[in-house]
Amino acid sequence: MSLKKNVIANFAGQGWSAIMSLAFVPAYINLMGAESFGLVGVFTSLVGMLAVLDLGLSQAMTREMAILSHNKNSFQQLVNTLRTLEVIYWLVAVVVGLIVLCLANFIAYQWLKPETLSSVQLLHALWIMALIIGLRWPVAIYSGGLNGLQKQVLLNKLLVIFATLQGAGAFAVLLLFQPTIEAFFIWQAIMAFVQVVILRLALLRSLPGDGKASFSKDTLRHVWRFAAGMTGVSLVTTVLTQLDKILLSKILTLSELGYYTFAASVAMVIYKIVGPIFTAYYPRLTELVAKNNQQALIGSYHEGCQLMAVAIIPLTLVLVFFSKEILEIWTQNPLLVSHTYFLVSLLVIGNALNGLMHIPYALQLAHGWTKLAFYTNVIAVIILAPAIYFSALHWGAVGAASVWILLNISYLLISVHLMYRRILESEKWSWYVDDIGKILLPVLIILIVSKILFTRDFGLLLNAIFVLVVFFISMTASIYSAETLRRRLPLTALLRHSK
């Protein structure tokens, strides 16, 4: 399967998933209330905190499948790797579910600040969350295997189906049966079971041959160093990315947490774009590193970095400059907009800065180098954890979101600089200037001019048209500013020809 087809498939799958995850959020809030939707934020935080128990195995699965699938003599090792990591992952899934069950009473009765929901309702919702998290846990290992085998078209077809059933199905359940948080989570639990069963079958059928798989200690010894490094990275990353949500769940009321959860859900659209590109390029970079093809590695690396910038910079700046107008058009809920539009702008900036570093991070993983990400994140925890606490305590959600921006600026200026001292030393300034700077500058100018020309007197329909036109102009400008993409991807060649 070609890299271009994988990128397109990942965009289609993640794009539709983003639409499904966002399209029904205003309806969820209207049907259940902001306070109940705050529990969705609690669920997201629990998943994020427990992500460290992935133990680096999902990334190890992707890496091993990418390497072994290109060796015809490695089939037995391939299936043994799947079985070994699968067994461990299911054991961890049980542990994760039990951890959430054990925390349920404390969270329901002592941590959260409900206003209308009872503690019993919170407890029941947390029990169902434990089941969902346990069932969803092995999804990562099966998705990682399909990504490593570069069966990303198949994976995304399945993700489109699951996203549709999860989003539209939950809306139907709330509308037709019972508009409660318990009904919402019960439906998610049913879908989690269906998803993990189908993804496992899809991965098994994608493996070559039909040999018998067995648990292998040799496989564990082979992947443990990489997986251990990924676990360290995951641990400190979890602290950095979830600390704000943990503190806010204690400081804010459950309704206020619901508004923050909504803003974070909107800002997550950036990762729905980042994910497909990272997923497509990580196996490709791993393959080129394994083959020691330095010239092709440099070309693919800059192609991926520029594609990432083109994909997220125009969308980010449009969301930042026009967050209030976009939310008004979408939600038709002035109260919701007033509580969330500034938060959306801040969180989108932080997520975009983080997204720009994903291809350099994929390059580090392709070399099996996890120490840089681990140590920089450890330092960040030591320095920024007190800042996150202070900001969240005094300025609430806005303070926490601001620290997220500062954290990612430091990564952009320091962490990536350190990477280039060891990997692709001659490509650092090309990354800063060609892969980011030349794409960012024209889009920023377009958005500043557009904001000056914009007037709210247009009305919702004309506002929507105006924002869409600005977005497409910005996207076109970013494509023409990406020199590597103009040479390598057919879309930009087509645009250049039409011009």
pLDDT single digits (tens) 138-193: 888 888 888 888 788 888 889 889 989 999 999 999 999 989 989 999 999 999 99
Confidence band, pLDDT 50/70/90 cuts, at residue 493: very low
Structure tokens at 3: 């890299």
378, 434 contact by CB (below 8 A): no
* Helical ranges in 357-437 per DSSP H: 358-366, 371-410, 416-419, 428-429
Residues 29-35, mean pLDDT to the nearest whole number: 86
The answer to whether 315 and 478 are in contact (CB under 8 A) is: no
Q: How much is the pLDDT for 43?
A: 85
Task: Categorize the per-residue pLDDT at 222 as very low, low, confident or very high, splitting at 50, 70 and 90.
Answer: low
pLDDT tens readout for residues 328-357: 888 888 888 998 999 999 999 999 999 999
Amino acid at 365: L
> Which range in 208-222, 362-376, 403-417, 430-444 is most confidently predicted, on average pLDDT?
430-444
* Residue showing tokens 């602290």: 239
Contact 181, 241 (CB under 8 A): no
Could you tell me if 279 and 152 are in contact, meaning their C-beta atoms sit under 8 angstroms apart? yes
Contact in structure between 130 and 269 (CB atoms under 8 Å): no
Beta-strand ranges (E) seen in 276-328 are none
* pLDDT tens sequence across 144-159: 888 888 788 888 889 8
Q: Specify the pTM.
A: 0.69
Residue 177, SS3?
coil
List the structure tokens of 286.
């791993």
Domain boundaries, the chain: 1-218, 268-499
Q: What is the mean pLDDT of the chain?
A: 83
Q: pLDDT for 292-333, tens place per residue? A: 888 889 988 999 999 999 999 999 999 999 999 999 888 888
Q: How confident is the model at residue 444 (pLDDT cuts 50, 70, 90)?
A: very high
pLDDT digit string, tens, across residues 73-122? 667 777 777 888 888 888 888 988 898 899 899 888 888 878 788 888 88
